[in-house]
Amino acid sequence: MTLLLVLTLLMTACWPLPDQTDSPILEPGEWHRIFNGKDLDGWETLGDLETSVADGILHIHASHPNNNAWVLTNRIYRNFNLELEFLMQDTNTNSGVLIRFEPQRQGLPNISAYEANIDWRLNHQNVMGTLENAARSNYSGGAEPGMWHKMRIEANGDRLNVFFDDRLICQTHNRRALSGKIGLQVPINQGGDIAFRNIRLQQLPDTPTLEAELERVFRSSTKPLVALVNDAALSGWHTIGEGKWTFDGAVLHGYSGNSHSFLVTDEVYKNFYLRCLFKIKKEDNSGIFIRKHPDSTAVNTTNAIECNIYDHNGFGHAYSTGSIVGHARAFSNLIDYEDWNVMEIMAKDNRLLLAINGDKSAEIYLPQPFNRAGNICLQAGTKVFTDNGPSDIYFKDLVIRDLDQ
């Protein structure tokens, strides 16, 4: 009797009552299956859909094509790792995993939550793993309809990471919502079915948010903003490549010619805030490379980090303007090709944040080899994906705040 009583008390302590919607469900580090594989106990439906459970699998069926509906947890979660497997047959439809949906809001989930998209289409704004309206995934393929795939979402304070089959494909900081329900979306567009299994959650302890501190460091530092271009002789810079760079006292003009050209700082920088205005024609190619290895005589994505300025193929462009090439994708259509646009680059140790026209476009935790000081390089590039013709790029008001000085 004593052992039974102890076990009962332990189960009571670990298993949440229905109205304990904002308390930890388990000690941090333990995994808990939030779908029992038998029924929808602990879940509710929102919208018009059909569900069934068999053999540990939850099937969700769209009652009507283009119907937006969800299966939602009854309780609220704050900081967690969420892991699940999904299977969807139709490549012309899409679904999603919702986190931090605020139940006090009326109607279907919206901008107050985060949706990690499940979508096979590569030529699409919200590709697989994209956190809609927050960060675009760099997923480039590999999912197969009719096969089980795994998605994992880490939500810790304002830090959000999405993994597809154990590969990190999306990461960002965002404070839109810090707690809420978890949801599974009915397939939309063409309708159809999606199946989920092995849905489990690992509770994480509360951690302080990071973005406010980084904004303070980057934007509110008392260190001065210093002009990087000061004279027509382009003192403090050197060129790599055969293009042409000129400065008329206000506007810096780069022309690529028939090969890529770079204007490179003589100095190296590690932790800094850089801001500039740029103007470019659509399909012309440019970018700002940072932390180039100072011993390298070339500029590329193996020895530097590229903050891209290049749109050529709409949603199909792998790393459009505002992206960090090879690491984090920006949403498309962020700039005005008839006017000046603002780019801000914020580099602090192993973290890099990029903003276009005041809105965060991409961010990453840098791989270890790039956690170093390096040159800043302005690119005038050829049109790689079209006719390989020359490009023009215009910069002005190029300033830097060196946080290491």
The rounded mean pLDDT for the chain is 86
Residues forming a β-bridge with 95: 118
pLDDT band at 24 (very low <50, low <70, confident <90, very high): very low
Q: Taking residues 181-187, what's their average pLDDT?
A: 94
Position 383, amino acid: K
Q: Taking residues 115-140, what's their average pLDDT?
A: 91
**394 φ, ψ (degrees, to nearest 5):** -125, 130
3-state secondary structure 203-234: ECCCCCCCHHHHHHHHHCCCCCCEECCCCCCC
What whole-number percentage of the chain has pLDDT above 90?
62
pLDDT band at 11 (very low <50, low <70, confident <90, very high): very low
Q: Taking residues 328-342, what's their average pLDDT?
A: 92
| Residues contacting residue 310 through CB under 8 Å, at least 6 positions apart | 284, 285, 286, 287, 317, 319, 320, 321, 381
Q: Taking residues 203-213, what's their average pLDDT?
A: 69
Asked if 390 and 247 count as a contact pair (C-beta separation under 8 A), the reply is no
> 381-393: b or e for each residue (b if 16 or more CB lie within 10 Å)?
bbbeeeeeebbbb
pLDDT band at 214 (very low <50, low <70, confident <90, very high): low
Q: Taking residues 267-284, what's their average pLDDT?
A: 95
User: How far apart, in Å, are the Cα atoms of 202 and each of 97, 239, 261, 290?
Assistant: 16, 51, 49, 37
Residue 323 tokens read as 């992206």
Q: Give tens-digit pLDDT for 35-87.
A: 999 999 999 998 889 999 999 999 999 877 767 889 999 999 999 999 999 99
Residue 186 tokens read as 């009915």
What pLDDT score was predicted for residue 352? 92
Asked if 208 and 97 count as a contact pair (C-beta separation under 8 A), the reply is no
Q: Taking residues 150-177, what's their average pLDDT?
A: 92
Q: Give tens-digit pLDDT for 78-102.
A: 999 999 999 998 878 889 999 999 8
| Residues contacting residue 154 through CB under 8 Å, at least 6 positions apart | 80, 81, 82, 160, 161, 162, 163
Residue 247 tokens read as 């400065």
How much is the pTM?
A: 0.79
pLDDT band at 20 (very low <50, low <70, confident <90, very high): very low
For residues 318 and 82, which has the higher predicted lDDT (pLDDT)? 82
Above 90 in pLDDT, residue 14? Answer: no
3-state secondary structure the chain: CHHHHHHHHHHHHHCCCCCCCCCCCCCCCCEEECCCCCCCCCEEEECCEEEEEECCEEEEEECCCCCCCEEEECCCECCEEEEEEEEECCCCCEEEEEEEECCCCCCCCCCCCEEEEEECCCCCCCCCCCECCCEECCCCCCCCCCCCEEEEEEEECCEEEEEECCEEEEEEECCCCCCEEEEEECCECCCCEEEEEEEEEEECCCCCCCHHHHHHHHHCCCCCCEECCCCCCCCCEEEEECCEEEECCCEEEEECCCCCEEEEECCCECCEEEEEEEECCCCCEEEEEEEECCCCCCCCCCCCEEEEEECCCHHHCCCCCCCECCCEECCCCCCCCCCCEEEEEEEECCEEEEEECCEEEEEEECCHHHCCCEEEEEEEECCCCCCCCCCEEEEEEEEEEECCC
Q: Which domains does the chain have, with CATH numbers?
A: 16-203 (2.60.120.560), 213-402 (2.60.120.560)
What pLDDT score was predicted for residue 51? 95
What pLDDT score was predicted for residue 103? 67
Above 60 in pLDDT, residue 21? Answer: no
